[in-house]
Amino acid sequence: MKSGLVATLVILASTSSWAETPILSDQFIRSINQKQSTWVAGRNFPENTPLEYLKRLNGALDPDPNHHVPLKVHRVIPEAIPTTFDARTNWPHCESIKSIRNQGNCGSCWAFGAASAITDRLCIATDGAVKFEFSAEDLVACCKTCGDGCDGGYTYDAWGYWVTDGIVSGGDYNSNRGCQPYSKSPFLDHVTPVCKRTCSNTNYGTPYSNDKHYGVSHYILEENESQIQMEILTNGPVEVSYTVYEDFYSYQSGVYQHTYGNKSGSHAVKVLGWGVEDGTPYWLVANSWGSDWGSLGGFFKILRGVNHCGIKRNVIAGERILLEVGKMGSSLVSILVILASTTSWAKTPILSDQFIRSINQKQSTWVAGRNFPEDTPLEYLKRLNGALDPDPQDRVPLKLHRVVPGAIPTTFDARTNWPHCESIKYIRDQGNCGSCWAFGTASAITDRLCIATGGAVKFEFSAENLLACCTECGNGCDGGKTYVAWNYWITHGVVSGGDYNSSRGCQPYSESAFINHITPTCQKTCSNTGYGTSYCKDRRFGASRYRLEQDESQIQMEILTNGPLEVSYNVYDDFYNYQSGVYQHTYGNYSGSHAVKVLGWGVEDGTPYWLIANSWGSDWGSLGGFFKILRGANHCGIKQLISCCTECGHGCQGGSSTRAWDYWVSDGIVLGGDCYTGKGCQPYSESAFENGVTPECDKTCSNADYETRYSEDKHYGASHYKIESDVSQIQAEILANGPVEGSFTVYDDFFAYQTGVYQYTYGDVAGAHAIKILGWGVENDTPYWLVANSWGENWGGLGGFFKILRGEDHCGIENNINAGEPKL
């Protein structure tokens, strides 16, 4: 860094009068060392270095919140993470990991972090066979979407540019290495170089276009220490950005933690390991300010475990995939990993010991315990639930069994009834992919083929084949439709294939889905080269598919007759902690819809249950991956989607106001007052009011004192319509027919509303809320809508009503207005 600095100072000397920069003074450095003992401060820059120069070194711009990329989560094996790790010694054949680059007088850290990490990962992935030094110059000059070149850039977009446009080779300033080495323009002059699609190094033997190396996709990871460690252990160094404070410029050695001075900017660097020094945990980081910065040769250590200075945010990396590219030989086509900055690195509350204790205290039919590490990202848990709602247009034939009284035993277990079919006893593992819909199908049809042939045919159907090739099923690792998966078996056939790393069958489950949450590419060949049958010959077809009546005896007769079947149900937060007993939803919110295989039923301590095979591995729960769930009450929608208006949404976890009005027209609604009022056929239940649990759909009056039958109490709408997002249209509707329903975006400050005309002032988005609009007016020259909330009359200072700014579609209040006419 110092050689570049001297040249820069000479250029600036004739234009600036230089005073001492206080943050580089001896007094400032002494103050740092007096205030703490984990790191040593010293001089890295001349005392009269301009503050503007120092700030310029920090060029990592905050990511665009609208930049959405898929999420990746590693399966963490705690014992596999060592106490200390250094990529330099772990991959000694990759000299690039040991190299410190120098960005000079340009805010191009975002490009250097990307180029450096990608360089390391290509070498690691090829076991040292390919040593290609990616050019920071190419990124700074040509990535126009990345930001402002020497005035800062977006790390996300740098990796995205590698995917879409590719990056050529190029070393540091004055190195003459590669196609586009770093130039004088950024290094000395702080001028973003002009993008040139030619090699500036005339001695380089490969043309610019042929020198390009590309990535194929990118995704994000939750912010979690073990996730970063697993990523580095698996694939090599990653890029991160963090907040730089004024004391950091004077770092020499030890474990840095902010001690003194103001925020100076955001800086991007490469993380290559971790360890513990004198009891203080740290990340090992490569800076890009030259090898003479600090006393560790340009590297530094920063406090680990508390997201210090935001060091765990915006972590970007790439994963090995090799591809033959023309005559270029093996070139890394890398998958990016971008660790999002949207969540804090805290423990997941629904996996906490307190949450588990609360579950066990509230009920006695099942036992909760730990199945996932406490810091497992919530997004990972939700991803396990990949059953999409069926398309109402998908008309699946209904099958009705003739139920013979006495033919259904009290207890039934397909594992013991068909002992020659070992597949029924087997628990599969979907890994890091929302492919439960494919696993439920593949597992059930595997069992059924064995049962139908008396054990003569033991053919393990491939979940990978369904996941990759059934494009009409849905979104692969982001969820699919069980009905369509069964239809694909009939129309296209499914080949054989076991679990990840099993090497069983034509298409075993792949790393792409199991580890990386990437839907595998559909290939009409056997990925298992040791399998002796061709893809086409290996396919097995189904003859028919059908659905069953939502009736317990119909489900039991089907299992008794033909074997296990697939169902989907609602997963709530407490379910992740299931260990044993008969599960029934006790505590927590709706988390998603999950597909599983039902193989039997029974009664435990007087509680009837369904016996089910999950697809989260045999180490989930204490029943070897199986579980029991309450039978006879359609619990969690195990026989149907919860609540009567199934198309409305997810009950207490949210729904569609538009579809609620449609339900009034098509199905009618009975009368019912607030909780504890005893009014009408179905007053609001304690289940919903007190516990946040969606009540079961019951086609009878819950109010025993109400004299009208449920069916006779139905009141219907004649029509439902939307009102244009126009103030006068909304006003005309209210004048003519009365109040309307609207919805708006709620921000944090709204919860504290008392009086006046609300308009958003402060806080984050908290959700979307539906309300009733009943009028309008003007208060102190501010136009408003008069609105009735549904949080009780004690909320706010207007008896549960509130006023919100009118005429500007504030918070979307005028954007989604529903109304209708009653059927008289």
Give residue 560's Cα distance to chain centre: 39
Share of residues in the chain with pLDDT > 70 (%): 87
Backbone angles phi, psi at 815, to 5 degrees: -95, -20
Residue 222's pLDDT band (cuts 50, 70, 90): low
Beta-carbon contacts of residue 657 (< 8 Å; ≥ 6 apart): 741, 743, 770, 816, 818
How many other C-beta atoms can be found within 10 angstroms of the C-beta atom of residue 83? 8
Q: Are residues 176 and 259 in the same domain?
A: yes
Please enumerate in sequence order all residues whose Cβ is within 8 A of that of 716, keeping only pairs 6 or more positions apart, or say none.
Answer: 664, 665, 668, 822, 823
For the full predicted model, state whether its pTM sits above 0.75.
no
**Is 421 contained in some domain?**
no
Q: Which residue, of 696, 715, 734, is where some domain finishes?
A: 715
| Active site positions, annotated | 109, 267, 287
Q: What are phi and psi of 489, to 5 degrees?
A: -60, -35
Indicate whether 158 and 297 sit together in one domain: yes
Point out which residues pair with 743 in neighbouring strands: 770
Sign of the CA dihedral 510, 512, 514, 519?
negative
Does the pLDDT at position 17 exceed 50? no
Residue type, 1: M
- Confidence bin at 649 (pLDDT 50/70/90): low
Residues recorded for the chain: 824
299 and 442 belong to one structural domain: no
- Between the alpha carbon of residue 493 and those of residues 102, 447, 462, 508, the distances in Å are 57, 16, 10, 16
Mean pLDDT, range 228-239, rounded to an integer: 90
Predicted local confidence at residue 515, as pLDDT: 87
CA distance 175 to 39: 33
Answer for the pair 225, 311: CB distance below 8 angstroms, yes or no. no
Tell me the two tokens of residue 366.
């099942």
Lowest-confidence pick of 32-36, 285-289, 607-611, 784-788: 32-36
Cβ atoms of residues 102 and 4 within 8 Å:
yes
Q: What is the pLDDT of residue 6?
A: 40
Helix (H) or strand (E) holding 358: helix 353-362
Of 682, 715, 748, the position where a domain reaches its end is: 715
Please check whether residue 574 lies inside any domain of the structure: no
Averaging pLDDT over each range in 8-22, 54-68, 635-649, 806-820, which range is the top one?
806-820
Question: pLDDT at position 325, please?
Answer: 23
pLDDT tens profile 111-141: 999 999 999 988 998 889 889 999 999 999 9
- Clarify whether residues 543 and 664 are in a common domain: no
Query: Are residue 168 and residue 215 in the same domain, yes or no?
Result: yes
| 226 in a structural domain | yes
**What are the structure tokens assigned to 528, written together?**
């298992």
- Strand pairing class (578-583; 626-630): parallel
How far is residue 807's CA from residue 579's CA, in Å, rounded to a whole number? 54
Query: Quick check: is 117 in a domain?
Result: yes
pLDDT band for position 216 (cuts 50, 70, 90): low
**Confidence (pLDDT) at 71:** 62
Q: How much is the pLDDT for 314?
A: 55
Both tokens assigned to 576: 């992740």
Q: What's the pLDDT score for residue 725?
A: 83
- More confident: 412 or 349: 412
pLDDT above 90 covers a percentage of the chain that reads 57
- What's the whole-number average pLDDT of the chain? 86
Q: With contact defined as beta carbons under 8 Å apart, do 248 and 53 qualify?
A: no
**What are the respective helix, strand and coil percentages of the chain, to the nearest 5?**
30, 25, 45
Residues 480 and 450 in one domain: yes
Query: In angstroms, rounded to a whole number, what is the distance separating the alpha carbons of residues 466 and 460?
Result: 13
> Alpha-carbon distance 297 to 183, whole Å?
23
> Residue 263 and residue 268: Cα distance in Å, rounded?
15
pLDDT confidence bin for 315, thresholds 50/70/90: low
Is the Cβ–Cβ distance between 549 and 557 less than 8 Å? Answer: no
- pLDDT of 686 reads 72
Same domain, 653 and 768: no
CB 685 within 8 A of CB 695: yes
Within 8 A by CB and 6+ apart from 30, the residues are none
Closest CA to 656 of 766, 743, 772, 751: 743
Judged against a pLDDT cut of 90, whether residue 198 lies above it is answered with yes
Rounded to the nearest angstrom, the gap between the alpha carbon of residue 707 and the centroid of all alpha carbons in its chain is: 50
Domain edge (last residue) among 287, 319, 351: 319
Distance separating alpha carbons of residues 808 and 150, to the nearest angstrom = 39
Q: Evaluate whether residue 392 is within a structural domain.
A: no
Q: Are 102 and 237 contained in the same domain?
A: yes
Query: CA 276 to CA 81: how far, in whole Å?
Result: 13
Q: How far apart are alpha carbons 627 and 612 in whole angstroms? A: 5
**Residue 248 within a domain:** yes
Helices (H), 605-646: none
The band of 470, judged by pLDDT with boundaries at 50, 70 and 90, is very high
Q: Do 117 and 208 fall within a single domain?
A: yes
Cα 144–Cα 145–Cα 146 angle in degrees, nearest 5: 90
CATH number, domain of 534, equals 3.90.70.10
The 10s digit of each residue's pLDDT in 357-406 is 989 988 889 999 999 988 788 888 988 999 888 776 677 888 888 887 78
For residue 749, what are the domain limits?
719-822
| Mean pLDDT of the region 670-676 | 81
Span 431-449, pLDDT tens digits: 999 999 999 999 999 999 9
Question: Is there a domain that residue 275 lies in?
Answer: yes
Residues 446, 541, single domain; the answer is yes
pLDDT reported for residue 195: 95
Angle between helices 552-562 and 436-452 (to 10 degrees): 50
- For residue 177, tell me if it sits in a domain: yes
Count of domains in the chain? Answer: 4
CA separation for the pair 192, 143 (Å, rounded)? 11
The answer to whether residues 312 and 223 touch, using CB atoms and an 8 Å cutoff, is: yes
Secondary structure tally for the chain: helices H, strands E: 23, 28
pLDDT in tens, 543-565: 889 888 878 899 999 999 999 99
Which one-letter DSSP state was computed for residue 301?
E
For residue 636, the model assigns a pLDDT of 63
So what's the pLDDT on residue 342? 26
**pLDDT tens readout for residues 493-523:** 999 999 999 999 999 999 989 988 899 999 9
- 234, 153: one domain: yes
CA 690, distance to chain mean position in Å, is 30
DSSP state of 499: S
> Tens digits of per-residue pLDDT, 732-744?
999 999 999 999 9
Residues 705 and 751 in one domain: no
> In degrees rounded to 5, what are phi and psi of residue 278?
50, 40
pLDDT for position 331 = 21
- The larger pLDDT score, comparing residue 120 to residue 342, is at 120
What confidence tens digit (pLDDT) does each residue in 708-760 have?
Answer: 888 888 888 888 888 888 899 999 999 999 999 999 989 888 999 999 999 98
